[in-house]
Amino acid sequence: MMDHASSLGNKNKFLVFGCGFSGSYFAKTLKQFGCTVLESSRSKKKDPNCFVFDSTKNVVPSEEVFDGVTHILSCIPPDKNGNDPVLESLKSELKNLPLEWVGYLSTTGVYGNTQGEWVSEIDMPNPFQQRSQKRLNCEKEWLESDLPVQIFRLPGIYGPGRSTFEAIKNQKVRVIFKKDQVFSRIHVADIANAIIYLLKNKHSLKFHQIINVADDEPCSQIEVIQYCYDLLGLKMPKTILYKDAKNELSPMAQSFWIENRRVSNKLLCKTLGYKLIYKNYKEGLKNCFLNIQK
């Protein structure tokens, strides 16, 4: 691990926009390597490494936040009009910085529904949901920004504090069966570490502008829920058929069930050589299980 630090160098200064679940994990991981990392939030925090950025209220960071910045990661979703909040508010500031790298967290929703077929970066995006069309629009804005952008397309993100265990605890779990339906997913630690791996090896690896970050084993939701109940030593509630559950699901939840795809990580893990920490949901959930026992 410390090897990453020395190669990344502590002369680098990172700004992480949108320090929610993935952004704060990335920031925390980088800090362990001795990098300077400043994190944005929409509300003021006591932490001196946090700054306020809220595109909807026009609250932008002060000039000193940008001093010496070399790297930026944006983890902020599109705004309600489908524009990118960071570019909308700060594009000209960013263009005046001597940036080495800009990362953008996107979603695999841009691929649309492939009826369970594998999707890779060479497939044409075919967004089905309106929110995925907005996302593709933001990707396009970043790609056309002339900044040194790298886009990471992510499936369902989980990790300690945000996993099926929390859903079970909060009684939010519905055991739904839909024939042949799979979901892809990624542990938050692999998002952070994959990005750091690519940065560390930037000079020896071919640069790819769009990279999927997913684990090796897309699978049904039931398998995941069953595995969590097994680890907890509890009996899984009974299964409901999707057609019977559908009308009780929120529009957002329904939207996840009407798309079915397997996200390929071959570019990241075979071509570029990143070794996943959690290669499948079992490995990742064991880590989450340890966390809930603390």
Q: Please report how close the Cβ of residue 89 comes to ligand NAP at its closest, in angstroms.
A: 8
Among positive and negative, which fits the CA dihedral 39, 40, 41, 46? positive
Cβ(116)–Cβ(260) below 8 Å: yes
Q: How wide is the angle at C-alpha 189 spanned by C-alphas 184 and 194, nearest 5°? A: 80
Instruction: Establish if 125 lies at the interface with ligand NAP (CB under 6 A).
Output: no
Element (H, E) at 119: strand 118-119
In sequence order, which residues have a C-beta less than 8 Å from that of residue 253 and are 6 or more positions away?
none
Instruction: Establish if 21 lies at the interface with ligand NAP (CB under 6 A).
Output: yes
Task: Locate 89 and state its tokens.
Answer: 């508010």
State which residue has the least CB distance to ligand NAP.
20
d(CA 66, CA 254): 41
Instruction: Establish if 154 lies at the interface with ligand NAP (CB under 6 A).
Output: yes
Instruction: Establish if 264 lies at the interface with ligand NAP (CB under 6 A).
Output: no
Please choose, out of 47-55, 95-103, 208-216, 284-292, the segment that lies near ligand NAP by the rule CB under 6 A: 47-55
d(CA 173, CA 132): 25
Instruction: Establish if 163 lies at the interface with ligand NAP (CB under 6 A).
Output: no
Cβ closer to ligand NAP: 53 or 101? 53
Find the binder of ligand NAP among 5, 54, 220, 267 (CB under 6 A). 54
Question: What would the x/- binding string for ligand NAP be over residues 71 to 110, using CB under 6 A?
Answer: ----xxx-x-----x-------------------x-x---
Cβ(145)–Cβ(97) below 8 Å: no
Q: Please report how close the Cβ of residue 122 comes to ligand NAP at its closest, in angstroms.
A: 20
d(CA 143, CA 134): 14
Residues forming contacts to ligand NAP in the complex (CB under 6 A) are 18-23, 41-43, 53-56, 75-77, 79, 85, 105, 107, 154, 156-157
